[in-house]
Structure 1
Amino acid sequence: MRRRNHTDSIPRTMDQVEHKTPPHDAQAEQAILGAVFKDNAAMAAVRDTIRPQDFYLEQHQIIFEAMVKLADQGVPIDLVTMMDHLDSAGLLGEAGRVSYLCQLIDATPTAENARHYARIVRGKTKRRNVQRTIEWLQEIALADRGDEEELEAVLSVLIREVRQGIDKNPSLNFIGDFIDEAAEHLDGKYDGLPTGFPEFDYKLFGLAGLTILGAAPKVGKSVWALNVALNVARKGGVVHYYDVENGRPLVMRRLLSNFYSKTITQLKNERAWQGVAKTDFPTAIPGFHLCTEHAGMKPDVIHREAQKIEGKDVLIVLDSLQKLPPLEKQRRDSIDRWLRELEQIKHDVKITILLISELSRGEKETHYRNPTLGAFKESGDIEYSMDMGLQFTKAQGESGNMILHCVANRTGESGPIATYSYQDFKYWRWAEVPQRGGAGMGDRA
């Protein structure tokens, strides 16, 4: 798989730009990698300055990203561990194989200058960003489209990007510069993925970032996540659904029941649906992909698969956090590690992640009535990692309905969000109870 560099999407509009290699320093990139091999302490000296994406050469991106992962795991970074990691991820060939790794070590005389090399590489990244922005300006100038106000707005944004690319740190901006951006956000132009539940989408602008959903056992949190995933796929989005909780047969039965509005018993007894299911079912949700095998549920594998579809409406669902394959010896450490890895995936690939979590069993009835952030099982890093936290509680009275609460939200409303009925649960489908003032994301003016 080819990784995307900063300059991959640059529009070429002039011959002299077409053939000019973007700014980079291959020797400085090699020196950083060689320095880390020679002295792992060099990693701490460079990580606060550069990221894998700052390397211009693809094989250097792959190697440095592997170094970061090994460092996060507390694994020494040497030729043996690097070969093992890259080989397990299927990236050894793209990284240049053993001969190139040895070349990096031999070509670096000392690890003492690693921080200086990192500054050089970061500087080249900024220059590539400036080049990209200037070329976009050329594209706009030569294109015969857009009115004057639109061009001025675009120019304002791109000029700020040039300044940020040159400055050591992103420049401070006048608050008035962001009014239009804020207005567009409120108008729904930067909403998250529509869930298919109008009240939820109206109040929370859809699903975005890393969202963690918790509830007591057997309440229906997996079904809610499946409903959301099915709706995203029906709208043309891409879904990667990882399930270690229920298994492939059960997930498929629920999907088919929901899709055809038939109970599991009806699906079993009626055969007519099978004749068309192989064509109309996948045709309706072509972007839905399911994984129930532990081998496919590794952070680097999930990351790599997500990178293949970057830029689309993408939802990753994981069910559930506490049952994901362990990454550390201690359960709590493994959960915290998973959360860090998912955060990194979210930031790197700009996708939406819905993660299902158990609640602390000892407080089951309390959480049924009073949702709290601390209710999430092993909640240590959860509250710091999530962009949004959701929990189901029982509605008062005899209705049997469930209320979905937002217990944490970086970008908007919290508190009771929507009420759900079990009336269609025989089809493994939640029914959102209409509330006054509710409107779908697409219905807002």
Structure 2
Amino acid sequence: MSTPPTGRRLHRVAMVTVHTSPLAQPGEGDAGGMNVYVLEVARQLARRDIAVDLFTRTTSASQPAVVEVEPGVVVRHLAAGPYEGLSKEDLPGQLCAFAAGMMRVAAHAPPGYYDLVHSHYWLSGQVGWLAADRWGVPLVHTMHTMARVKNLHLADGDVPEPLGREIGEAQVVEAADRLVANTAREAQELVELYDADPARVVVAEPGVDLALFRPGSTLEARAAVGVPSDAVLLLFVGRIQPLKGPDVVVRAAAEMVRRRPELRSRLVVGILGGASGTGVRNPMGLPELAERLGIGDLVRFVPPVDRATLAQWYRAADVVPVPSHSESFGLVAVEAQACGTPVVAADVGGLPTAVGPGGVLVVGHDTADWATAISGVVLDPDRRAGLARASAEHAAGFGWARTAQRLAEVYADAMTHPREAPISDAELLTGIPSAVIP
């Protein structure tokens, strides 16, 4: 990779998100926290005079080739395989077509149009690696999730990530000038599980839209989303897949009713989200589970909603359980807390950072433990009020402007001090550092 001139000003970033559009509705299909992250960061960078072109795959014939989100933020849809019917697991075979689309865009732009590539998720990293090398600019990569981490914490019945993904991730780790981790724990996982160079790993914590997600009237929020004013509302938000653990919430709710039968008349369990990943291929059967446990009448399934309505749901809730088996950060936890709603979360990945003093961490996914932790919040008004105050205070430190500022610093450093070690042919083929190849 050629070295950018020292002191060169950063004008435009090519941001790559192959498998899911930043314009997609979070909570549906493969859209989730990463979609929110990419779009919010792009907006904040543009307000710092760093233009961002977001490259993503076309998934519908109705999508325009170019969408200007706001001045300085452009989404470019590239044709790579059939528009519909491809799962995330099918996309490695379309990366060549996607990369060709990026090359065509750059070929019609002035020389040196892009100063840096920032890729998100390993599929994008493979394409970003090629683009950065072709254009002679640095590659910054954010994993968001990692196969080796997910495989260490699989939910019952979930399917391990394939070896091909592990190899692809290792290649991107070796190729990137900088690796952006969401938390210090994720940075440690990159070093320990992928042999990443610690000098190239930096932490930039994700943020939250503090103007939208803010405390407000619980009664008004409940009226807006149709929840009784005297309800005890447990709210799960996320994609419906084993990784996210929505079944843990249903089981815990059933145990709470078993322990305290008088709760039945007031308990509402909101499951807000759509099926995703292995949850699409092998539906989790949450309605059937709720019926078997005798609380089918208490569980309300809500499809993904817009961001303003989501904020109302958070404000309406007594507690937001986040029982993920693996989580690089936990955007749902911070959004809920920004609305002044306590969180009960699994003690995994980046959730301890996201939750902080505004919530409760649970080790493992035992039903009894979760029922006890959730009950300890919703059935103790004084404790809940204290956690609500701490939640809002903690979340106030996670604005997107802070994330974008940190990324701008990382970009500048990558341009000034790109990685020096060349990548060997063996590393290109295997993703294994040349020092350990005989």
- TM-score greater than 0.5 by the shorter chain: no
Question: As a proportion of its length, which structure holds more helix?
Answer: 1
- Which structure has more RCO (C-alpha within 8 Å, separation ≥ 6)? 2
For the pair shown, the structure with the greater C-alpha radius of gyration is 1
> TM-score when scaled to structure 1?
0.29
> TM-score when scaled to structure 2?
0.29
